[in-house]
Amino acid sequence: MTRLSNDQLARLPAKVARPEYDRGAITPGIVHIGVGGFHRAHQAMYLDQLMSRGQAHDWGIIGVGVMPGDARMKEILSAQDHLYTLVVKHPDGRYEPRVIGSMIDYLHAPEDPLAVIEAMADPAIRIVSLTVTEGGYNLHPVTGEFNLDEPAVHQDLTASSLPRTSFGLVTEALARRRERGLAPFTVMSCDNIQGNGEVAKRMFSAFAAARDPELGEWMRREVAFPNSMVDRITPVTTPDDIDEVARRFTIEDAWPVVCEPFTQWVLEDHFTQGRPAFEDVGVQLVEDVEPYELMKLRLLNASHQALCYFGYLAGYRYAHEVCQDELFVNFLLDYMVKEASPTLAELPGVDLDDYRRTLIQRFANPEIRDTLARLCAESSDRIPKWLLPVIREQLANGGELHRAAAVVASWARYAEGIDEAGEPIEVVDRLSESLKAVAQSRQPLAFIEQRELFGDLAAQPRFVEAYRTALDSLHEGGARATLESLVQA
Q: What are the respective helix, strand and coil percentages of the chain, to the nearest 5?
A: 50, 15, 35
Query: What is the spatial distance between Cα 153 and Cα 253, in angstroms, rounded to a whole number?
Result: 36
Query: What is the spatial distance between Cα 39 and Cα 52, in angstroms, rounded to a whole number?
Result: 18
SS (H, E, C) 58-79: CCEEEEEECCHHHHHHHHHHHH
Give me the tens of pLDDT residue by residue for the chain, a chain 489 residues long: 999 999 999 999 999 999 999 999 999 999 999 999 999 999 999 999 999 999 999 999 999 999 999 999 999 999 999 999 999 999 999 999 999 999 999 999 999 999 999 999 999 999 999 999 888 999 876 677 899 989 999 999 998 889 999 999 999 999 999 999 999 999 999 998 889 999 999 999 999 999 999 999 999 999 999 999 999 999 999 999 999 999 999 999 999 999 999 999 999 999 999 999 999 999 999 999 999 999 999 999 999 999 999 999 999 999 999 999 999 999 999 999 999 999 998 887 789 999 999 999 999 999 999 999 999 999 999 999 999 999 999 999 999 999 999 999 999 999 999 999 999 999 999 999 999 999 999 899 999 999 999 999 999 999 999 999 999 999 999 999 999 999 987
pLDDT at res. 142: 62
The DSSP output letter for 342 is: G
Close Cβ partners of 184 (under 8 Å, ≥ 6 residues apart) = 174, 177, 178, 219, 222, 223, 224, 272
pLDDT at res. 338: 98
Query: What is the spatial distance between Cα 86 and Cα 251, in angstroms, rounded to a whole number?
Result: 12
- Is 320 in contact with 369 (CB distance < 8 Å)? yes
Partner residues linked to 173 by β-bridges: none
- Is 405 in contact with 300 (CB distance < 8 Å)? no
What's the one-letter identity of residue 331?
Answer: F
pLDDT at res. 143: 72
Nearest-CA neighbor of 164 among 113, 115, 125, 206?
113
Give the C-alpha distances (Å, rounded to integers) separating 432 from 162, 307, 463.
31, 20, 23
pLDDT at res. 135: 85
Contacts 24+ apart (CB under 8 A), 278-286: 278/46, 278/50, 280/50, 280/53, 280/55, 281/46, 281/49, 281/50, 281/53, 282/46, 283/46
Partner residues linked to 105 by β-bridges: 62
- Is 55 in contact with 49 (CB distance < 8 Å)? no
DSSP annotation string for 240-293: HHHHHHHHHH-EE-SS-EEE-S--EEEEE---SS----GGGGT-EEES--HHHH
- Whether the full predicted model's pTM is greater than 0.75, yes or no, is yes
pLDDT at res. 47: 98
Nearest-CA neighbor of 425 among 407, 445, 439, 442?
439
